[in-house]
């Protein structure tokens, strides 16, 4: 080969190498769909997910693009928004909203991987076949823990020492049949162990809240706790207002209720679930199949107490309980 021809070939190869590497890097930009019933209601959860991605080396605009689809509280829009993400052919969908968002996403696609964070009952709702082997295209992190209902009742007993009747508000369709049965049994066993009589009250939708609180009054309930429900979470402000109006000390499932003026909450640390959801997305982007990734249970829990609410109810929270709190709202 002539020297000129050799140098030309060598130079061309050297120039092509960076171009090929650059093209390969550009091809690695991941596209994540983010489906939310109402982003404005929980921006801290989105921020936690983004922080989790950042910790794993993802930077928006550089090696990842996130397509947000927000129903802005209008749940009837979710199917169309999920269909938009499917049409965009995103690599994976992070679905908010308990089991609602993931269910809508699953109805829109059986091929694009879906990750949920904080789903209340992934098996009972049909999102996955089992926690250990989800199967299909859906996996993630569950916020469900039947033992937590007993913990909330224990906290109420400490905050309101003389209470002997506690209303347990539930949405009948919120959990799968087996899960609901386990939760009700756990509530009954825990209440009776504490010397408290549980009063199980139902509300299928917000239009039944007024009757539910009327039933609590009729049952002479001295305090209130909830079973997990995505609907209750969406309507948390109304529930907190009704509890205050009826002067019922309440232990809620998550801190959103306490931030809105509720007395206390004990449950899974939701931001931690969303940070960990980023690791699921990362594994899927690197080739893992969602059906092979076991659904994880909560690892971190938080107790939040609102002293303003306690004062309004005429309660003095014991120092020992305040010391255990992860946050106390003055």
Average pLDDT, stretch 188-205? Answer: 94
The 30-36 sheet, strands edge to edge: 64-70, 30-36, 92-95, 114-119, 138-142
Task: Give the CA-trace dihedral at 37, 45, 146, 230, to 10 degrees.
Answer: -20
pLDDT value for 24: 45
Confidence tier at 97 by pLDDT (50, 70, 90):
confident
pLDDT value for 242: 98
How would you class 196 by CB atoms within 10 Å of its CB: exposed for 0-12, middle for 13-18, buried for 19 or more?
Answer: buried
Confidence tier at 100 by pLDDT (50, 70, 90):
confident
* Number of Cβ atoms within 10 Å of the Cβ of 320: 8
Averaged confidence pLDDT in the chain: 90
Residue 7 has pLDDT above 60, yes or no: no
Residue 71 has pLDDT above 80, yes or no: yes
**Residue 2's Cα: distance from chain center in Å?**
67
Average pLDDT, stretch 255-262? Answer: 94
Residue 248 has pLDDT above 60, yes or no: yes
Q: Which of 245, 201, 193 is nearest to 221 (CA)?
A: 201
CB 263 within 8 A of CB 305: yes
Residue 80 has pLDDT above 60, yes or no: yes
pTM as predicted: 0.80
More confident of the two residues 8 and 76: 76
Confidence tier at 98 by pLDDT (50, 70, 90):
confident
Share of the chain above pLDDT 70, in %: 92
pLDDT value for 160: 94
Q: Which of 225, 210, 218, 209 is nearest to 166 (CA)?
A: 225
pLDDT tens for 10-61 read: 445 544 545 444 444 445 799 999 999 999 888 999 999 999 999 999 999 9
pLDDT tens for 277-313 read: 999 999 999 999 999 999 998 989 999 999 999 999 9
Average pLDDT, stretch 156-173? Answer: 93
pLDDT value for 92: 98
Structure tokens at 20: 């090929």
pLDDT value for 308: 96
Spell out the domains of the chain, with CATH numbers in brackets. 9-143+270-292 (3.40.50.2300), 147-269+301-329 (3.40.50.2300)
Compute the distance between CA of residue 230 and CA of residue 98 in angstroms, rounded to an integer.
6
pLDDT value for 175: 80
pLDDT value for 180: 85
């Amino acid at each position: 080969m002539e020297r000129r021809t050799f140098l030309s070939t060598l130079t061309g190869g050297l120039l092509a190498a960076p171009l090929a590497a650059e093209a390969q890097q550009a091809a690695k930009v991941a596209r994540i769909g983010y489906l939310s019933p109402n982003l404005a209601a929980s921006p801290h959860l989105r921020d936690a997910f983004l922080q989790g991605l950042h910790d794993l080396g993802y930077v928006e605009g550089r090696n990842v693009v996130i397509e947000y689809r927000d129903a802005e509280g209008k749940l009837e829009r979710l199917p169309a928004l999920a269909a938009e993400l499917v049409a965009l052919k995103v690599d994976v969908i992070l679905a908010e909203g308990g089991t609602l968002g993931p269910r809508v996403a699953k109805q829109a696609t059986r091929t694009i991987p879906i990750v949920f964070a904080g789903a209340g009952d992934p098996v009972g709702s049909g999102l996955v076949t089992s926690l250990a082997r989800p199967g299909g295209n859906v996996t993630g992190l569950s916020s469900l823990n039947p033992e937590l209902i007993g913990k909330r009742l224990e906290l109420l007993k400490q905050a309101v020492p003389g209470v002997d009747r506690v209303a347990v508000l539930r949405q009948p369709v919120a959990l799968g049949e087996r899960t609901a049965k386990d939760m009700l049994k756990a509530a009954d066993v825990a209440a009776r162990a504490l010397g408290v009589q549980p009063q199980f009250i139902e509300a299928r939708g917000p239009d039944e809240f007024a009757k539910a609180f009327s039933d609590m009054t009729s049952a002479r309930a001295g305090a209130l706790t909830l079973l997990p429900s995505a609907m209750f979470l969406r309507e948390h402000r109304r529930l907190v207002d009704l509890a205050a109006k009826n002067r019922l000390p309440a232990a809620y499932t998550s801190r959103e209720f306490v931030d809105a003026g509720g007395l206390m909450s004990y449950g899974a640390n939701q931001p931690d679930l969303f940070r960990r959801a980023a690791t699921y997305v990362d594994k899927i982007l690197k080739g893992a199949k969602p059906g092979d990734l076991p659904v994880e249970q909560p690892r971190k829990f938080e107790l939040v107490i609102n002293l303003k609410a306690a004062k309004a109810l005429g309660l003095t929270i014991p120092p020992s309980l305040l010391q255990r709190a992860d946050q106390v709202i003055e």
